[in-house]
Amino acid sequence: MAFLIDGKKISGQIKDELKVKIAELKEEGLVPTLAVVRVGDDPASALYVKNKKKACAYVGIESRSYEIPDTTSEEELLQLIGKLNADPDVNGILVQLPLPAQINEKHIISAIDPMKDVDGFHPMNVGALVTGEPGFVSCTPAGIIQLLKRSNIEIDGKECVVAGRSNIVGKPMSILLLRENATVTTCHSHTRDLKEVCKRADILVAAVGKPHFFNHEYVKDGAVVIDVGIHKLAPKTFCGDVDTEDVMDKVSAITPVPGGVGPMTVVMLLVNCVDALLMQKGRK
Ligand code: NAP
């Protein structure tokens, strides 16, 4: 039977570690502060933002909300970003994606001060990730590395297959695994014989955004499977990209959905906020 990699528990441990660190910073008069910008009233975005603010409150990060209408122009949003960039009391800036069609996401991401880019999406931080320089890393892949390390799953020398090549999950995931000395293959919709490639994996990261896409035919015996997908099947019923039941007898470890990768994404945002404060104070 597979070992369940408990993202809720691991994220809870990291949150408690952060709580202590933030309390110490507060004694020095330093309060990590995150500006959360939400444009429009998409219910999914509203829920994500609510969860992030709740997590901030738990560890002692101050969050400031900027909820602006979906008619906001790109220029107006750029002005707000400019103000937040210039505000020395704001350490991190998060613009919840997606944005309304009149706003170019790339322009907004590039306008955020890279030192405050706690999502790790700015091209400078992406470049730093590739070249191994310090910088912010996209929260979901960073959280997956923590899940593996804190579950004592060796990455060094392993054959890792990442299914998906998005800028926020697949690509940074592949680079992080490479940095951990894995042998990495990145797959996408043009990959020939995906099943055979995935079956090579000691560690398979499933991030194609398709419910129950990966069944036992995609995994080798004893593989570790990280399921990044999250799909709502019915109210309060979710599944991932992996058909968990079908692969359960074959894999050695797997992340559940929900309760696997999801909680790690939020906690890595908190880690990045504290790092942002320390970097801005020249202490990291
Ligand atoms: P995305 O931007 O839609 O990217 C999907 C990737 O999968 C693309 O690179 C695409 O290839 C590839 N793909 C699609 N169909 C494929 C197929 N049949 N065979 C091989 N590759 C295929 O998605 P994303 O933002 O990376 O997110 C992936 C999933 O993770 C989604 O379910 C999302 O909701 C979830 N997610 C979860 C968290 C979390 O915290 N749990 C965070 C972020 C995302 P091409 O590039 O060739 O199109």
Q: What is the pLDDT of residues 20-33, one digit of tens each?
A: 999 999 999 999 99
Give me the pLDDT at residue 145, please: 98
Is residue 96 annotated as a catalytic residue, yes or no?
yes
Q: Tell whether ligand 1 has an atom less than 6 A from the beta carbon of residue 192.
A: no
80 pLDDT tier (thresholds 50, 70, 90): very high
Helix, strand or coil, per DSSP, at residue 202: coil
Give me the pLDDT at residue 194, please: 98
> Does 284 score more than 90 pLDDT?
no
CA of residue 245 to ligand 1 center, whole Å: 21
Q: Give the H or E element holding residue 123.
A: helix 123-131
Give me the pLDDT at residue 222, please: 98
Residue 44 has a CB neighbour count (10 Å cut-off) of: 10
Query: What average pLDDT does the segment 27-56 reach?
Result: 95
Q: What is the rounded distance in angstroms from the CA atom of residue 91 to the CA atom of residue 258?
A: 30
Residue 82 has a CB neighbour count (10 Å cut-off) of: 13
Q: Are 186 and 165 in contact (CB under 8 A)?
A: yes
Query: What average pLDDT does the segment 41-57 reach?
Result: 93
Residue among 96, 113, 116, 158 flagged as catalytic: 96
Q: What is the rounded distance in angstroms from the CA atom of residue 204 to the CA atom of residue 224?
A: 6
Give me the pLDDT at residue 83, please: 98
Q: Are 81 and 121 in contact (CB under 8 A)?
A: no
CA of residue 207 to ligand 1 center, whole Å: 5
- Looking up tokens 């299914």 gives 163
Q: Give the predicted TM-score (pTM) of the model.
A: 0.97
> Does 253 score more than 80 pLDDT?
yes
Produce one character per residue of 145-157: b if its CB has 16 or more CB atoms within 10 Å, e if not.
bbbbebbebebee
Give me the pLDDT at residue 88, please: 97
Q: Tell whether ligand 1 has an atom less than 6 A from the beta carbon of residue 197.
A: no
Q: What is the rounded distance in angstroms from the CA atom of residue 274 to the CA atom of residue 60?
A: 10
> Does 159 score more than 90 pLDDT?
yes
Q: Tell whether ligand 1 has an atom less than 6 A from the beta carbon of residue 274.
A: no
Q: Which ligand 1 atom sits closest to the C-alpha of 257?
A: 41
- Looking up tokens 């008069």 gives 29
pLDDT in tens, 118-156: 999 999 999 999 999 999 999 999 999 999 999 999 999
Give me the pLDDT at residue 1, please: 76
Query: What is the DSSP secondary structure assignment for residue 227, as one 8-state letter?
Result: E
Percent share of the chain, pLDDT over 90: 98
275 pLDDT tier (thresholds 50, 70, 90): very high
